[in-house]
Amino acid sequence: MSDDTPPVVVADGDGVVVSQNKAARRMMGRGTGKYCWDVVGKLDGAEQLPCRQGCVITLLASGMDCSRLTLFKLRGQRHHISCVPVNGQVVCTLDPKSSESLNVWQSLSRREREVLQLLADGETSASAAARLGVCESTVRTHVEKMRTKFNVSTRAAVVAEGFRVGYLY
């Protein structure tokens, strides 16, 4: 991953941070084992963050299709945070709000966008394949292509990046 990788924090169902990438540790300090709303929500210089005690639990209780994308200010500059429920955890990505359009390599085909939406809705490869009327291996191929285009290593990161770049809302 490059140095411009956005900070990512993963919280479990109780709201406890179970992992964070290097960018998140640089920005927020080591947060593993602490509540997400205490790590992200108390980010120095941030205004208008949606983080509140129990917000992870509330988001998970709302269901897999209730992701949250919120604009906030960090040291006077516009940023956004996307919080995506995935398999009983919430993946939070912070990134500067950019007016730049997607890079060509980030462009998704119509079918990749359909697969991405199904992943965000909590579908597995098998269930997504059944809904689309294709083979499970075809869905896995689309997921791999999106992982490459977004330069991420997990399905959860594909979904988080889909929110970050505007494919999902």
Q: Answer whether 151's CB lies under 8 Å from 1's CB.
A: yes
Average pLDDT (6-29) is: 94
Q: Answer whether 152's CB lies under 8 Å from 161's CB.
A: yes
The answer for 15, left when phi > 0, alpha when psi is -120 to 50, beta otherwise, is: left
Residue 91 structure tokens: 């993946």
Q: 38-53 pLDDT, tens per residue?
A: 999 888 888 888 899 9
What stretch of H or E contains 146? helix 136-150
The hierarchical CATH code for the domain 104-164 is 1.10.10.10
Residues in the chain: 169
Q: Answer whether 81's CB lies under 8 Å from 72's CB.
A: yes
The hierarchical CATH code for the domain 8-96 is 3.30.450.20
List the domain boundaries for the chain: 8-96, 104-164
Q: Global pTM?
A: 0.58
Q: 92-151 pLDDT, tens per residue?
A: 998 876 544 455 456 788 899 999 999 999 999 999 999 999 999 999 999 999 988 888
